[in-house]
C-alpha cells in the first residue's frame, strides 16, 4: 500500500485548491484526487490550458505521476493531457504546469480574458465544464421569484 500523497487536483490547479492527502486505492486516474476535488471539480487558470492541434498528441506516462516531462515524443514542458479518453467531448486539452508565453508546437492558446479560469470535473480524465470565452457573457437581469 502506498503512503498518502498530494492530491493531483492541488498540483493541477497550481495550488489554488486546498486538498487532503490522498490514499489511492487503485491506479485509476480519479483515485489520485481527494473527495472534495472528485465532488466539486477544480479550477485551472486559462493561461495554463492549451488545445492540442494536429494528428499526434503524446499520451500521458502512467509511471511519472501527475506531470509528463519533455520526451522523445514531445518537447512540451511539464504537462498533463486531459479530455483524451473515449467518450470525451471536444478537443484534447493540455494543462501546463507553468505559465509560458512561448509558442509550443502542436498547442494552441485559448482565448482568455485576464484572470479567467477553466472548470474541470474529475472522471476517467479531467473534462472541461466551461471553456473561457473571448468575451464575457451578457449579464442576466435578476428576476424576482414568483409570488405564490
Do the Cβ atoms of 47 and 112 come closer than 8 Å? Answer: yes
Q: Which cell numbers in the block locate residue 66? A: 501527475
Instruction: Tell me what pLDDT residue 15 has.
Output: 83
Instruction: Tell me what pLDDT residue 114 has.
Output: 74
Instruction: Tell me what pLDDT residue 78 has.
Output: 92
- pTM higher than 0.75 for the full model? yes
pLDDT of 72 over the 50 cut: yes
- Give 135's pLDDT tier (boundaries 50, 70, 90): very low
pLDDT of 141 over the 50 cut: no
Instruction: Tell me what pLDDT residue 101 has.
Output: 87
Q: What mean pLDDT value characterizes the chain?
A: 83
- Render pLDDT for 96-115 as a digit per residue (tens, 0 to 9): 999 998 889 899 988 778 78
pLDDT of 5 over the 90 cut: no
For the CA atoms of 73, 96, 129, 88, the dihedral, rounded to the nearest 10 degrees, stands at 10
Nearest partner of 67 among 56, 81, 53, 54, judged by Cα: 81
Distance of alpha carbon 34 from alpha carbon 41, whole angstroms: 10
Distance of alpha carbon 13 from alpha carbon 11, whole angstroms: 6
- Give 27's pLDDT tier (boundaries 50, 70, 90): confident
- Residue in this structure with the C-alpha cell 471536444, named with its chain if needed: 90
Amino acid at each position: 500500500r502506498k503512503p498518502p500523497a498530494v492530491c493531483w487536483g492541488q498540483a493541477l490547479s497550481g495550488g489554488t485548491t486546498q486538498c487532503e492527502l490522498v490514499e489511492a486505492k487503485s491506479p485509476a486516474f480519479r483515485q489520485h484526487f481527494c473527495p472534495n476535488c472528485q465532488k466539486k471539480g477544480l479550477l485551472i487558470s486559462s493561461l495554463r490550458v492549451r488545445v492540442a492541434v494536429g494528428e499526434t498528441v503524446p499520451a500521458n506516462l502512467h509511471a511519472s505521476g501527475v506531470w509528463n516531462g519533455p520526451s522523445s515524443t514531445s518537447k512540451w514542458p511539464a504537462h498533463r493531457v486531459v479530455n483524451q479518453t473515449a467518450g470525451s467531448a471536444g478537443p484534447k486539452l493540455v494543462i501546463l504546469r507553468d505559465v509560458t508565453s512561448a509558442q509550443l508546437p502542436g498547442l494552441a492558446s485559448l482565448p482568455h480574458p485576464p484572470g479567467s479560469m477553466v472548470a474541470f470535473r474529475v472522471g476517467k480524465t479531467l473534462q472541461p465544464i466551461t471553456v473561457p470565452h473571448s468575451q464575457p457573457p451578457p449579464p442576466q437581469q435578476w428576476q424576482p421569484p414568483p409570488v405564490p
